Structure 1
Amino acid sequence: MSTTLISADNTWALMAITCGWVAISIWAEQTFKFASKISGAIIALIGALALTNLKIIPTSAPWFDDIIWGYVVPLAIPLLLMQCDVRKIWRESGKLLIIYLIGSCGTAIAAVVAYKLLQGKIPYLEGIAGMMTGSYIGGGVNFATLSKTFDIPGEMVAATTVADNCLMAFYFFVLVAIPGIGFFRKHFRHPHLDEVESIGVSDEAKTQASAYWERKPISLRDIAIDFAISAIIVCVSKIVAGFLGQVIPAEGVVLKMINGLLGNEYLIMTTVAMLVATFFSKQVEKTSGTQEIGTYLIYLFFFVIGVPASIPQILREAPLLFVFCAIMVLINMLVCFVFGKLFKFNLEDIILASNANIGGPTTAAAMAISKGWIKLVGPIMLIGTLGYIIGTYAGTFIGQLLGA
């Protein structure tokens, strides 16, 4: 018997709730100034968190796990990268790569510190430290890979997943709020934030968000072409990544790294989408709606991020694991902001780099989209995806260093 009001197999009801709350989130963001400051993406996430913990919707369902993650997110990525001319990427991503790598070092250090503080209090902590090092450098792909590498029991993996999801939901809320805090505006440069705000709010537009997402003409042809291009890019990327993953041997450090890089469908997807945007820029520019459709799909993704964060479950099963993850996230954040300040990085670069470390490229890209930092979407997707490779090796090293 289902323990929630709506069962996991009631896909239409879950779809209605997801789409309905996302619509409310976007409406609120474009109607109320306070909602605009925290962003519709976070409103969507908070709604999911509340619905889950009130036992209205389940923490896992085919609609969330298979459809949103399996189809909606891949479709959104090419749509959102249609404006990313690869010829401009290097100029816009050089600093992002540096601060991302600094944050990755911070994650590795954090894992050792957190392990030393909680050693003996959590079973299998050596392997969990390695697993979370990979996860907080790359993302969920590394989490799954390293949990198998260190043979961590299923119940500990599940408890860590709950702690991780709950903490990520809170941390994304913090990161989204930071650009609106006077301290950070005063002590860091923020050119992308200034660019969005320079658009201004007209008499008709009630908030900055409504000014940015002003009504634009989009035809039926535009919608058809947008979805066709995105679906073709996803299909081709999956075929190419699958083929390369099979033909390139995963033996030895170098070949294994190449296999992981070229066999990663998200990296191939990002690359193909940006190549299309670069070499067919004139044709792409004639088509409207890619940004709007892609952003809507990412808002659905933000709702799903909040779904697995069951507060009662974490209080019951994983309070110390939550503390462990919190220490790692806090140290990563401090390293990113301290070194970002020392090296005079932009506030947007620091926020997205830390986000890419903790949540992976899709959450970082989603945040860039929700804040209107469109020029950073392509670079952070590319850099964050590279973390899938770096994270596996870093996590393996840390786990073995600690004795896993």
Structure 2
Amino acid sequence: MQNSFISPDNTWILWAFLTGWAAVSIYLEQKYRWAAKISGAIIALIGALIFSNLRIIPTDAPAYDQVWTYVVPLAIPLLLFKCDIKKIWRESGRLLIIFLISSVGTMLGAFWGYIALSKYIPGLSKVAGMMSGSYIGGGVNFAAMAGSFEVPGELVSAAVVADNLLMALYFFVLIAIPSIEFFRKQFTHPHIDEVERVGTNNNETLAANYWGAKEISLIDIASSIATAFVIVAISGEVAKWFGLIIPTTNPVLNIFNSLLSNKYLLITTFTMLGATFFSDYFSNIKGSQEIGTFLIYIFFVVIGVPASIALILEKSPLLLLFCAVMVGINMLVTFVAGKLLKFNLEEIILVSNANIGGPTTAAAMAISKGWVELIGPIMVVGTLGYILGNYFGIIVGNMLM
């Protein structure tokens, strides 16, 4: 298995590959429309899968463990620096209501999918927790839940392939919905009407549009990285302390022990509290989202490495069906609730997108559609999913085990 061109012990070369291929994936996504449609995450994963199956890189190495140990925990706080709970409610209270309902749809989908397929997919309770986190927040929650439940690397890889394939298909559906007459008759759509009235002219890919150049200073980079390290370090120590002092003598205490000794939940909680009560500091740090997103791309490269193509062909079809059940129920709950509560079609589409893909994909869709007034609110509300996803993902996973 380890007879690869690059030795597992050649850490520097492997880190060069991990960061280099992550950068290439981002470049392709922003440069070419075909790559933007596939998504940089899929490119990162498939590239690593090809290199490992061709035995150019090893399927297991200390460098990959370092990504799980350091890169993933650091990405979480970096992506949460703007998550001021008070600001979320003040600016986006209306969208928050339908977002929370949509999150319930994700959880219901996880339970129904587990009931239908648990006999056929080993370890589905862990996947359900992982996918609940992912389909309420995004990739950062997927990474956190995969680490939290210690999901085997091969199963994570198979789940990612199924997840990203289904997510890409669903995004195409969401993009197409505004042009479907049935939906336009059922819902109001003021933002679509405004765009059609004014017209648009945008030649960039979604990724290039959203991740355009921003002003950033050395102190921003220093503050981002240092603050993330401090939060992760404190969270790890507090998690160990809770794990030692909270007994596991009964089911209730065992749940509390599992929750409070989980470093990913504490990282999420501490960052959220900091962003809320020290918002002047956190909100003024520029570049944290860019750095955190790059770290997540490295994570996508790593989870593609241990994937066996034969295993993916064997397991991904059922995992794809499981993801389809979750997404289908999320869509049904979101659109029915949106209709009953008289939400606009644009709000419903973006909220479902933010659940399944995260705030950046929702913001990118809003940008691409020209729904300018919804870009900020959906980004703020979608960021809340980073918090809720970790909590609900662990709850779902523990309930199903």
Instruction: Give distance in 1, aligned partners of 2:208 and 2:380.
Output: 19
Corresponding position of 2:14: 14
Letter in 2 for 1:395: L
Structure 1 partner of 2:32: 32
Report the CA distance between 1:243 and its aligned residue: 1.4
Q: Name the counterpart of 1:390.
A: 395
Matched, 1:288 2:291: no
Which amino acid in 1 is paired with 2:87? K
Q: 2:336 aligns with which of 319, 342, 364?
A: 342
Distance 1:67 1:393, change over 3 A: closer
Instruction: Establish whether residue 327 from structure 1 lines up as the match of residue 321 from structure 2.
Output: yes
Could you say if the C-alpha distance between residues 40 and 338 of structure 1 is closer, same or farther in structure 2, counting changes exceeding 3 Å?
A: same
Q: Distance in 2 between matches of 1:215 and 1:143?
A: 32
Q: Does 2:227 align with 1:225?
A: no
1:107 alignment partner AA: A
In structure 2, relative to structure 1, the CA distance for the partners of 1:131 and 1:300 (3 Å cut) is closer
> Structure 1 residues 50 and 209, CA, compared in 2 at 3 Å: closer, same or farther?
same
Task: Determine the structure 1 residue equivalent to 2:170.
Answer: 178
Alignment partners' CA distance in 2, 1:276 and 1:131: 30
**In structure 1, C-alpha distance between the alignment counterparts of 2:361 and 2:25, rounded to whole Å:** 15
Query: Where does structure 1 lack aligned partners over 5 or more consecutive residues?
Result: 119-124, 148-156, 356-363, 397-404
Cα pair 2:146 2:156 within 8 Å, conserved:
no
Question: For the structure 1 residues 353 and 214, does the alpha-carbon distance in structure 2 shift closer, same or farther, using more than 3 Å as the test?
Answer: closer
Equivalent pair of 2:31/2:208 in contact (CA under 8 Å)? yes
Deviation of 1:110 after TM superposition, in Å, equals 2.3
Q: Spell out, residue by residue over 1:93-114, the C-alpha distance to the aligned partner (whole angstroms, 9 max, x if none).
A: 4443433333223222223323
Partners of 1:308 and 1:14 lie apart in 2 by 14
Deviations 1:61-112 (A, max 9, x none): 2212x22111111112112211111213453644434333332232222233
Specify whether residues 70 and 370 from structure 1 end up closer, same or farther in structure 2 by C-alpha distance, changes over 3 A only. Answer: farther
Change over 3 Å in CA distance of 1:56–1:365 after alignment to 2: farther
C-alpha displacement at 1:129, in angstroms? 5.0
Name the CA distance, whole Å, in 2 between partners of 1:250 and 1:26.
44
Aligned residue for 2:160, secondary structure, equals helix
User: Is the contact between residue 158 and residue 307 of structure 2 (CA under 8 Å) also seen in structure 1?
Assistant: yes
Question: Structure 1 residue 142: deviation in Å?
Answer: 7.5
Matched positions, count: 359
Q: CA deviation at 1:311?
A: 0.6
Match of 2:107 in 1: 104
Amino acid at match of 1:387: F
Cα distance, 1:377–1:55 mapped onto 2, change above 3 Å: farther
Show the 5 A alignment for 1:5-404.
Answer: 5-64=5-64, 66-89=65-88, 91=93, 93-115=96-118, 128-137=123-132, 162-176=154-168, 178-181=170-173, 182-186=175-179, 187=183, 206-314=204-312, 319=314, 321-344=315-338, 346-354=348-356, 374-396=379-401
With over 3 angstroms needed to count, the CA separation of the structure-2 counterparts of 1:236 and 1:366, relative to structure 1, is farther
Counterpart secondary structure, 1:60: coil
One-letter identity of the residue aligned with 1:333 = V
2:343 is aligned to: none
Q: 1:143: Cα distance to partner?
A: 7.6
Shift of 1:214: 2.5
Quickly say closer, same or farther: Cα 1:238–1:109, change in 2 above 3 A. Answer: same
Q: CA deviation at 1:180?
A: 4.2
Structure 2 unpaired stretches of 5+: 134-141, 339-346, 368-377
Do the aligned residues in 1 keep the contact of 2:25 with 2:40 (CA within 8 Å)? yes
Deviation at 1:128, TM superposition (A): 4.1
Name the TM-score, length of structure 2 as normaliser. 0.75
Matches of 1:76 and 1:144, distance apart in 2 = 13
* In structure 2, distance between residues paired with 1:28 and 1:136: 26
Q: CA RMSD in A?
A: 3.7
SS at match of 2:57: coil
The alpha-carbon deviation at position 388 of structure 1 amounts to 4.2
Q: Is the 8 A contact 2:78 2:224 kept in 1?
A: yes
TM-score by length of 1: 0.75
Query: Contact conserved, 1:48 with 1:304, CA < 8 A, in 2?
Result: yes
Judge conservation of contact 1:46–1:306 (CA < 8 Å) in 2.
Answer: yes
Look up the equivalent residue of 2:115 and give its one-letter code.
V
SS in structure 1 of the partner of residue 233 of structure 2: helix
1:223 Cα deviation after fit? 1.5
Relative distance call for 1:352 and 1:283 in structure 2 (3 A) is closer
The Cα offsets for residues 249-284 of structure 1, whole Å up to 9 and x where unpaired, read as: 223333222222222211111121122222222233
Residues 127-174 of structure 1 deviation map (CA, whole Å, 9 limit, x = unaligned): 745555455445688789989xxxxxxxxx96xx63552242232143
Residues 225 and 311 of structure 1: CA distance in aligned 2, closer, same or farther (over 3 Å): same
